[in-house]
Amino acid sequence: MNLYKTFIKPVLFLFTPETAHKIVFTLLKIPGANFFLKIFYKTENNILEFRKNNFFVSNKIGLAAGLDKDGEVVNQLGNIGFGFVEIGTVTPLAQPGNPKPRLFRLKKDNALINRMGFNNKGAEKMKETLKKIKNKNTTIGINLGKNKITPIDNAYLDYKKSFEILFDYADYFAINVSSPNTPNLRELQDKKHLSKILEEIQKINLSKKTPKPVFLKIAPDLTFQQIDEIIKIVKDTKINGLIATNTTIERTNLKIDSEQITKYGNGGLSGNPLKNKSTEIIKYIKSKISDDIILIGVGGISSLEDVEEKIQAGADLVQLYTSFIYEGPGVVKKLKKQMITKNL
């Protein structure tokens, strides 16, 4: 019996998505939660280890950014079994994000629509939170974004500031220029802005005694020509890899009725409807890059077949988000066991 799907999920889904999120985080912070999670969910990782250059994870299944925006339950997520946990998106200054409601479940599609807008407590607060972590048990990635009020031409300064503040507390960084929920953010994927951001980040990074791995998270709504330009910038700036992909603004092939979709309004779509699109982009990117560039696949992963599809397309690692909401923490343990059996 799946405890989460039988008992916990039906109760959580009685609440709005954000209220359910708060309930879960409150439970994860209860003393003794780590002990419980370790017993029920953690599995041996070493067979699924991944190491390339200066990047290491204990297993190939990670949590995508957006769930733990401020790094509050990193060890709990590690005890659930994630080999790497990407926290954020974090901005230099705290910001409330977009007006509520801003997160919606598409149950028939195993999908979510969000227009959160980088709600977070800011880089300094995240630093203080991460300082307190004892016995860190997973690789921590920090996903960086820009504040809503920052002009596009000054966006690189936001990424630099957060990078400098949080440098000592991340195992890797992800540069997020692809969320559809901050006005004009996706313009940062253009050559002029993206080159500036990555060059400035790498200037700081390479001045350090031990540079940190840096990844770029891209949108699924790019043309192949735009992807080609991005790949060239990735190669020129010598960052470690790409995360493909963020949420999509498309609303095609959904089971939910169109009137309800219109009611939900704008936002990024994640989950099963994104699966094929992200896989197509992963396959295209892999055909254009060398093996030195690490590729993390994300978008609609909930089964072993989905993991295999992403890896066969060229992904080195995968990340979950929406399936974690629908399937619960047991999905991580299940996938890891199946991957070990299949030697993925």
Q: Which residues are catalytic?
A: 179
Q: Is 128:165 a contact under the CB 8 Å cutoff?
A: no
Using CA atoms, how far residue 127 sits from 71, 215, 217, in Å, is: 9, 20, 22
**Beta bridge pairs of residue 140:** 85
In three-state secondary structure terms, 229 is helix
Looking at residue 285, its amino acid is: I
Q: Is 297:285 a contact under the CB 8 Å cutoff?
A: no
Contacts of 250 (CB under 8 A, 6+ apart): 220, 221, 269, 277
Within the chain, strands assigned E span 50-52, 55-57, 61-63, 84-90, 103-106, 111-114, 139-144, 172-176, 214-218, 241-244, 268-271, 294-298, 317-320
- The strand pair at 268-271 and 294-298 is best described as unpaired
Element (H, E) at 147: none
Q: Which of 161, 167, 166, 159 is nearest to 210 (CA)?
A: 167
Find the length of the chain.
344
Q: Which of 314, 294, 113, 99 is nearest to 215 (CA)?
A: 294
Cα separation, 71 vs 138, in Å, equals: 12
- The strand pair at 50-52 and 55-57 is best described as antiparallel
Other CB atoms within 10 A of residue 29 CB: 12
